[in-house]
Structure 1
Amino acid sequence: MAPLRRGLVAIVLLFAFVLLLRSSSSTSSSSSSSTTSDDTPPENAEKPVNVPPQARTHAGKRQHAQVTLEDMANRPLRERLRYQYPYDLDTKFPAYIWQTWKYAPSSSWFQDELRPQEESWSELHPGFVHEVLADKTAEHLIRYLFGAIPEVIEAYESLPIPVLKADLFRYLILLARGGIYSDIDTEALQPAINWLPDDMDRLSVGLIVGIEADPDRPDWHDWYSRRIQFCQWTIQSKPGHPILRDIVATIVEDTLRMKREGILTMSRMDKSIVEFTGPAVWTDSIFRYFNDPEYFKNEETRNVTYEDFTGLTVQKKVGDVAILPITSFSPGVRQMGAEEPDHPLAFVLHDFEGSWKPQEERHIGVEW
């Protein structure tokens, strides 16, 4: 029986050795088929892209997926913006202050009357990176930040006048880098750390906006585009916020549509500046977010409207957005409940005389 046992053992060992050779050969073949002799992928190989997890929503869920570069290029604009600049609520607000003007402060062409306002931001935020970007510099920065999404660059460069580019730039820079954007004709009255009350967790807030207008009168539509209008001359945000993604996509899509139709000129556009890139479309994006079940799955089912913010006198939080009362970014307008610039909740003073639009067209400061 001993020879028989030895024979059986030899057969078993031989079988195991053959299986081991096959496994090794299969692994080697798989490796050689996916790489060349210098360990680089072949030119026709499809490169996998690991899509970062979706930023935490109010439901606290994350999504994982794998797509190829080719597949990502064919995805809708909003999805590509989400991939390029994902949103993470748990991060801190970046310590950036962004402003734009025709000239940089180092230029002799920079107006002297703007210097005290510009300097107020640096003085009250000593630990922040404060950038005042000239128009040409802003264009180069947008090309750098959104090189992977060419229609964003095309839309930005196709806008017919500087004010439209200035509007789009603020949304783009906050989407990509976060921080504070404020118009060059604004003065910081208090540091941003004071903008939220002590009992509001800053890590639970991803966007801070202020009320621009609250015209509680029957003919409000003769003066403003929305019953409650959120200002966009000062915004603080964490990178990738869904509201910023939505408004960027909305403006880019409208721009390219009007360009295809041959109406992307000031005399032929089918939208006013306020509706195209200004506070009207900004306000619409905010309300769309408040009423989007993707982000508010666990919230009470109801329609968020202007009634939730009219007459607001203190900060209010909806989801991850903090809404500041009209006094905060519009002190001294002497209407709609706005207090004076020395009020404890007055944070930013806006010089409407220096803004792009004449005061009689903005309707802020008109006597009612």
Structure 2
Amino acid sequence: MLRRFRPFLSSRHKYVAVVALLVLLVLVRGLPFGSHRQDADVGDRPRYLYRSAFRENPDTAYERQLSEALRDIERRQVALHGKGGPSETIWQIILGKEPSAEHRGADSLQFQEKNPEWAYKLVTTEWAEEFVTITLSSIPGLASLYHAYPHHVLRADLLRYLILWYHGGYYADGDIFPARSIKECPSLQDSVFETEDPDISLVVGIEIDEPFASPQKMRDWHWVRSYSFIQYTIFAPRRFSPLLREVIVRVLSHTKRHLDESNIFLGARYNELTTLEITGPGVFTDAILDVLSNTLPASHPFVSESVAADKGLGDLISPSTGGLTERVTWAPFHRISDPRCAKGMEAKNGAELGGLCVLPVNAWGNGQRHSGAENFQSAHACVNHRFGGTWKPWKQTWKKYLFG
């Protein structure tokens, strides 16, 4: 009599199967989608202000030294070449590889082809080295901090700020697809391209606009804060933006602090959180909001709207004095449908703003599953970001994700 075949697993196979299942569960739980309940998406209050731990007891002496060194460079360049007109150069960065059509990819090539009237510059490792160590050699600590980064993504973050501050122009990551040419972008036509001489030194887009996000949604999406500006695409119509100057100061200051506080044997380690806060969208967003707060008068709409939105929340109430801090928060940029700009001339007497325009989410941040974003085919879309994000833990191999 034939016996019925019964499949079985050896102890070794069972062990492998269990480990594989656990790994799969960990990876799925870490992904920013899926099974969280709809009622877990919304918190009981909005968050328009985030306080970074890196701004607690910052090294103000080093930051003043950096700011003055940057200003010295600005003064020397203006004395030699004048202020100059609008900058029309497209910048992209490729580090650690020899530049080629294959390495650039179709999106990068098409970005250049779709904007033939703009100059194009691909920043290589060699070019960046000379820029940092020779052109900007007077910035204290820049070269050593730049070389201390363990990953190219950190260097690329800092480089885009330095390049746009020093040269001006339009920066785009290599995985940015041009939905239309730069000058055909509706949001830019309605803001900086309205005039040939705009009083604007920096244009940013919106990436995250979820001030009502619940703690669960924050965990699901790996968000440090519930709002942020985009830094995978940045436009500096003019050189020497005071906003970018402050971004650079903060990035270098935060990097130095991270190094100083790191383990003497293991060195400075950068996970997703520290990358976002030291060189990425976190420090970029905070610096811009703080410059607006320090330069705009209390009567400016950005300030008054921020204060009004804080009623009942108390984030702007000083815990030490009990007084109200009149500053700019995320509130003026929540769910905007048109560009919101503050021109340089709107700064209070003696303050340097340079002018800022914030574009609505669908200009540069379309294609996301949050923040009110439409799809890539949105009528407002100017670029589409493919969101490669290979530096992020959940984009890497399971071993890298689990064990670093």
Decide: shared fold, TM above 0.5. yes
2:209 to 192, 214, 217: 214
Distance 1:226-1:256 versus aligned 2 partners, 3 A rule: same
1:113-124 alignment runs, 5 A limit: 114-124=104-114
1-side partners of 2:226 and 2:342: how far apart?
18
Give the superposition deviation at 1:337. Answer: 1.3
Counterpart position of 1:197? 189
Give the superposition deviation at 1:356. Answer: 2.9
Q: Residue 278 of structure 1 aligns to which amino acid in structure 2?
A: G
Give the superposition deviation at 1:326. Answer: 1.1
The C-alpha deviation readout for 1:209-248, integer Å capped at 9, x for no partner, is 0000112433354332223210100001122111211111
Counterpart position of 2:284? 282
Q: Which has the larger radius of gyration?
A: 1
**SS in structure 2 opposite 1:204?**
coil
Q: Residue 205 of structure 1 aligns to which amino acid in structure 2?
A: I
Counterpart position of 1:145? 135
Query: Is 1:95 matched up with 2:94?
Result: no
Counterpart position of 1:59? none
The C-alpha deviation readout for 1:3-58, integer Å capped at 9, x for no partner, is xxxxxxxxxxxxxxxxxxxxxxxxxxxxxxxxxxxxxxxxxxxxxxxxxxxxxxxx
TM-score by length of 1: 0.68
TM-score by length of 2: 0.63
Distance 1:77-1:353 versus aligned 2 partners, 3 A rule: closer
Distance 1:296-1:145 versus aligned 2 partners, 3 A rule: farther
2:334 to 310, 319, 328: 310
Give the superposition deviation at 1:104. Answer: 4.4
Q: Residue 256 of structure 2 aligns to which amino acid in structure 1?
A: L
Q: Between Structure 1 and Structure 2, how many residues are aligned? A: 284
Counterpart position of 1:339? 374
Check whether the contact 2:63–2:253 (CA below 8 A) recurs between aligned residues: no
Check whether the contact 2:361–2:373 (CA below 8 A) recurs between aligned residues: yes
Counterpart position of 1:232? 231
1-side partners of 2:83 and 2:70: how far apart?
19
Give the superposition deviation at 1:204. Answer: 1.9
Counterpart position of 1:156? 146
Check whether the contact 2:176–2:383 (CA below 8 A) recurs between aligned residues: yes
Give the superposition deviation at 1:188. Answer: 1.6
Distance 1:271-1:198 versus aligned 2 partners, 3 A rule: closer
2-side partners of 1:269 and 1:345: how far apart?
34
Query: Is 1:83 matched up with 2:72?
Result: yes
Give the superposition deviation at 1:297. Answer: 8.0
**SS in structure 1 opposite 2:388?**
helix
2-side partners of 1:168 and 1:82: how far apart?
18
Could you list the runs of 5+ residues in structure 1 that have no partner in the other structure? 1-72, 362-368
Distance 1:180-1:263 versus aligned 2 partners, 3 A rule: farther
Counterpart position of 2:293? 291
**SS in structure 2 opposite 1:98?**
strand
Check whether the contact 2:367–2:385 (CA below 8 A) recurs between aligned residues: no
2:173 to 180, 183, 187: 183
Distance 1:258-1:280 versus aligned 2 partners, 3 A rule: closer
Check whether the contact 1:90–1:203 (CA below 8 A) recurs between aligned residues: no
Q: Residue 305 of structure 1 aligns to which amino acid in structure 2?
A: T
Could you list the runs of 5+ residues in structure 2 that have no partner in the other structure? 1-61, 305-326, 344-354, 397-404
Aligned residues with identical type, % of pairs? 28
**SS in structure 2 opposite 1:336?**
coil
Give the superposition deviation at 1:263. Answer: 4.1
Check whether the contact 1:90–1:204 (CA below 8 A) recurs between aligned residues: no
Check whether the contact 1:168–1:251 (CA below 8 A) recurs between aligned residues: yes
1-side partners of 2:272 and 2:391: how far apart?
20
Give the superposition deviation at 1:99. Answer: 0.9
Distance 1:268-1:174 versus aligned 2 partners, 3 A rule: closer
Give the superposition deviation at 1:152. Answer: 1.4
The C-alpha deviation readout for 1:73-112, integer Å capped at 9, x for no partner, is 99721022022125999854311111112334437xx43x
1:324 to 352, 359, 368: 359
Check whether the contact 2:367–2:375 (CA below 8 A) recurs between aligned residues: yes
For CA contacts below 8 A with separation 6 or more, give which structure has more relative contact order: 2
Give the superposition deviation at 1:126. Answer: 0.9
Give the superposition deviation at 1:277. Answer: 0.6
Query: Is 1:132 matched up with 2:117?
Result: no
1-side partners of 2:124 and 2:73: how far apart?
25
Q: Residue 207 of structure 1 aligns to which amino acid in structure 2?
A: L
Counterpart position of 1:67? none
The C-alpha deviation readout for 1:177-204, integer Å capped at 9, x for no partner, is 1101111111122222234134644512
Give the superposition deviation at 1:274. Answer: 0.5
